[in-house]
Copies of this chain bind each other. A is one copy, B any other.
């Protein structure tokens, strides 16, 4: 099996982290988003949506980060994706919660327009409005995550880590690109601390942190 990915990609990081932690034998191939390699014919033949990651095993091709996590965890019969229907449903719920409103408003609404040129809106008023809209909504989701989802738990679905923590923590920590410290969300801070204890966290996120360092001192709107 081969994972097509980029080390800075928010969607690639949780999959790479899970593979590293579980020591699953999967080769990696970098798709250089910075030079637009994902728009070239070779890659669009693999993933017409032009996104990373994609898992390839012969004729079997699987896109969508959360779907890849579900698949790999199912294959490994990992406790991070329980087989009991109700427990599994709570992990699916958390994965989908992160993948919808949270990802949209926090990453696509607040972070990406400030960090990636192709996400920047064409006029100042549109750009400023987009960022304010994303910020207002992101604050609502962080408050729900902090108070209602995590609360006094160690992880999002209880006191055991699941693939939803892998996924959600990688989206939340993308905020470090614009200097988010998650002040005012103490349970989120504690939860991220828990996920960051995974032994592979530093290696997998090294390039992302390098990218974040390169932007230090820039004036970003953040939480």
- Chain A residues within CB distance 8 Å of chain B: 48-49, 51, 60, 62-68, 70-71, 74-75, 85-86, 88-90, 92-93, 95-97, 99-101, 103-104, 108, 121-123, 125-126, 129-130, 133, 141, 144, 147-149
A104 touches B108 (CB 8 A): yes
Is there contact, CB below 8 Å, between B67 and A74? no
Q: Which of B70, B75, B101, B121 is close to A92, meaning CB atoms less than 8 Å apart?
A: B70
Do the beta carbons of B49 and A97 come within 8 Å of each other?
yes
Is A100's CB under 8 angstroms from B103's CB? Answer: yes
Give chain B nearest CB distance to A37 CB in angstroms.
Answer: 18
Contacts of A65 in B (CB 8 A): 96
Q: Is the interface of A mostly helix, strand, loop or mixed?
A: helix
Q: Is there contact, CB below 8 Å, between A67 and B49?
A: no
Contact, CB under 8 Å: B96 / A66: yes
Closest to A75 in B: B85
Instruction: Specify the chain B residue showing the minimal Cβ separation from A104.
Output: B104
Q: Contacts A49-B97, A125-B123: A89 and B67 contacting too (C-beta < 8 A)? A: yes
A126 to chain B, nearest CB (A): 3
Find the B residue at minimum CB distance from A141: B49
| A66 B92 Cβ-Cβ under 8 A | yes
Known: A74-B88, A121-B133. 19 other contacts (CB 8 A): A49-B101, A49-B148, A51-B101, A62-B90, A63-B93, A64-B100, A67-B92, A67-B96, A71-B86, A71-B88, A71-B89, A71-B92, A74-B85, A75-B85, A99-B99, A100-B100, A121-B129, A125-B125, A126-B130
B residues within 8 A CB of A51? Answer: 101
Shortest beta-carbon distance from A15 to chain B in Å? 13
Assembled-state Cα–Cα distance A149/B86 (Å): 30
Q: Please, how many angstroms separate the alpha-carbon atoms of A48 and B92 in the complex?
A: 17
Query: How far apart sit A88 and B81, CA to CA, in the bound complex (Å)?
Result: 14
- Assuming A108-B104, A129-B121, A130-B126, is B144 touching A49 (CB within 8 A)? yes
Q: Which B residues lie within 8 Å of A67 (CB)?
A: 89, 92-93, 95-96
Contact of A64 among B63, B97, B147 (CB under 8 A): B97
A147 neighbours in B (Cβ, 8 Å): 48
